[in-house]
């Protein structure tokens, strides 16, 4: 029988995971609902607020170095932690665009005045650190501090993936969550041959079987590439984030459906695949070889 207890999230909060034998908690979100877990050690897959409720942290909290920087200086790092960076971008010129739903007035004020992260016993988590039977892999992707934890139980390797991938509620397919294009592909490539028997996700049910887990990660990679190619085709005649969202049918509770277009367009601009002219995104190079080489990194 497994020692892992899953506290399922409710759409607002992420799943939380507790091991009462080894006394650790991964992602102490509101899903814990006041569970009595004094004397435990706490770990974060990333410091987004749906994965992290200060009132549920009752011991040392391990986060990646950059995650600690976000917690101790949340205002400066608001664009990553709460996605509240205002962007002057095609489709949003002359308006304020909050990439996620954590609004500046409520999110940051709540963070600074009520969450009091600076009173926490925050410990630095390094890549490949082993604590309380958990091994940390700082992979990035969804956020720069995104960390996957592995745990061996009954000779089976189990993983805790945070928001590296998520299961679409409508289609049941696996996709990435509003993340950097390059980061998602690199993190999935890194994880797909780790021989996990079970992968617990930040939202939704776990995925069982190494073949199923590898297929999930490969599907996410292919999804990113397919979406990238579709956006580049739209850019031949000029496009913007609103048009991309509408044409490709993006939806999202926290990012309003703009996370994927925003992330890919950032990548395409950096790689000189697209440019901004007259308040629109234009594709510069749609040569199949050039595009595929860039998209596959």
pLDDT in tens, 150-200: 999 989 999 999 988 877 666 667 777 666 788 888 888 888 888 899 999
Domains defined for the chain, CATH in brackets: 4-222 (3.60.15.10), 225-295 (1.10.10)
> 50, 47, 53, 49: which is closest to 35 by C-alpha?
53
Residue 274, exposed/middle/buried by CB under 10 A (0-12, 13-18, 19+)? buried
Give the model's pLDDT for residue 167.
73
Span 203-215, pLDDT tens digits: 888 999 989 999 9
Nearest to 67 by CA among 181, 146, 182: 146
Mean pLDDT of the chain: 79
Q: How far apart are CA 56 and CA 120, in angstroms?
A: 11
Q: What pLDDT score does 254 carry?
A: 54
Gap between the terminal Cα atoms of the chain: 42
0.75 exceeded by the pTM? yes
Q: Which of 59-68, 75-84, 110-119, 203-212 has the lowest mean pLDDT?
A: 75-84
Residue 87 scores a pLDDT above 80 = no
Lowest mean pLDDT of 17-31, 77-91, 97-111, 119-133, name the range. 97-111
Q: What percent of the chain has pLDDT over 90?
A: 26
Mean pLDDT of 116-123: 79
Q: Looking at the predicted structure, is the pLDDT value of residue 26 above 50?
A: yes
């Amino acid at each position: 029988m497994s020692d892992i207890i899953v506290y399922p999230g409710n759409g607002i909060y992420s799943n939380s995971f507790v091991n009462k034998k080894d006394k650790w908690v991964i992602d102490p979100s509101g899903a814990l609902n006041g569970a009595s877990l004094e004397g435990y050690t706490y770990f974060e897959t990333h410091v987004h607020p749906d994965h992290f409720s200060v009132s549920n942290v009752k011991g040392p909290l391990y986060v990646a170095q950059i995650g600690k920087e976000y917690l101790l200086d949340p205002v400066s790092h608001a664009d990553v932690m709460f996605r509240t960076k205002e962007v002057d971008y095609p489709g949003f010129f002359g308006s304020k665009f909050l990439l996620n739903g954590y609004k500046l007035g409520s999110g940051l004020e709540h963070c600074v005045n009520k969450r009091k992260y600076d009173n926490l016993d925050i410990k630095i988590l390094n890549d490949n650190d082993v604590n309380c039977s958990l091994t940390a892999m700082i992979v990035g992707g969804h956020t720069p501090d995104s960390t996957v934890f592995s745990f061996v139980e009954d000779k089976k390797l189990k993983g805790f993936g945070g928001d590296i991938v998520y299961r679409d509620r409508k289609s049941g397919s696996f996709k990435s969550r509003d993340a950097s294009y390059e980061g998602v592909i690199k993190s999935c490539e890194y994880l797909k041959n780790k021989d996990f028997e079970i992968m617990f996700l930040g939202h939704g049910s776990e995925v069982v079987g190494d073949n199923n887990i590898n297929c999930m990660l490969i599907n996410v990679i292919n999804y990113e590439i397919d979406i990238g190619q579709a956006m580049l085709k739209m850019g031949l005649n000029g496009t913007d984030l609103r048009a991309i969202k509408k044409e490709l049918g993006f939806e999202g509770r926290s990012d309003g459906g703009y996370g994927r277009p925003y992330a890919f367009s950032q990548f395409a601009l950096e790689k000189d695949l697209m440019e901004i002219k007259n308040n629109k995104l234009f594709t510069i190079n749609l040569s199949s070889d050039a595009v595929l080489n860039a998209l596959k990194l």
